[in-house]
Amino acid sequence: MARLVLASSSPRRRELLQQLGLDFSIYSPEIDENVLEGEIAADYVHRLACEKAAAVQQHFPDAVIIAADTSLSVDGEILGKPESKAHAFEMWAKISGRKHDVFSGVCVRTSAQISSIVVRTQVEFQVLSLKDMEAYWATGEPEGKAGAYAIQGLASRYIPRIEGSYTNVVGLPLHETVELFKAIKVLN
C-alpha cells in the first residue's frame, strides 16, 4: 500500500484510524473553515474534507490522503466548536431535550482517484439543567469539540440514544471509511 496520510490533527480521528490497524502519518492543513452563505451542514463537511485532502495531496503527491470534517446541525444551523463557555451553553440549550444531526464528510484520494461520502447520525440529548452544563463545562472536555461535547467521554451520560454510526459522532465513520478505501483499491 502507498503511504497513508491523515489530514487532521484530531486525536480522536488518529485513534479511530489506528483501530483499523493502518500505518499512517499526520499532516494537518491550514484551510479556511468558514461556512459559506446558505451552506448546509452536509455540504459544509463534504467541502471541507475534500479541501483538506486536496491541500495535503499537494505536499504528498504519491500518498493516499484521508481527510474528514464533522459538524452538528440543529434546525438547519451548523454548530461548530465553542468559542467560549457562554457559546457552549448556547449550543447545549439548542440540543437539550431533543435530537440533532451529526454530519461527517470523509474524503480519500490519491493523485489519480477521489472517493468521498457524507455520513449522518442522529443524536438524542436529555434535557440539560444549568447544573449539568456547569459541571460538564468544568471538566474541560467540551472545548475544541463540535457541538461542545464528546460522545466518547463524559457527555455519554446525557445521550440516551443515537441512530446511525457511533464512530461518525466521534469524528470518523469507520465502516464508511473502509468502504472508501476499498473504492480506490487501498484495502481489499
Distance, CA of 142 to chain centre: 14
Per the CB < 8 A criterion, the answer to whether 162 and 95 are in contact is no
For 97, phi then psi, to 5°, come to 75, 20
Radius of gyration of the chain (CA): 17
Choose, from 69, 75, 101, 132, the residue flagged as catalytic: 69
What CA–CA distance (Å, rounded) separates 126 from 57?
A: 41
- What grid cell was written down for 117? 461520502
Amino acid identity of 19?
Q
| DSSP state letters, 90-135 | HHHHHHTTSEEEEEEEEEEE-SS-EEEEEEEEEEE-PPPPHHHHHH
Judge whether 69 counts as a catalytic residue. Answer: yes
Neighbours of 138 (CB within 10 A): 10
SS3 content of the chain, % helix, strand, coil (to 5): 35, 25, 40
List residues with catalytic annotation: 69
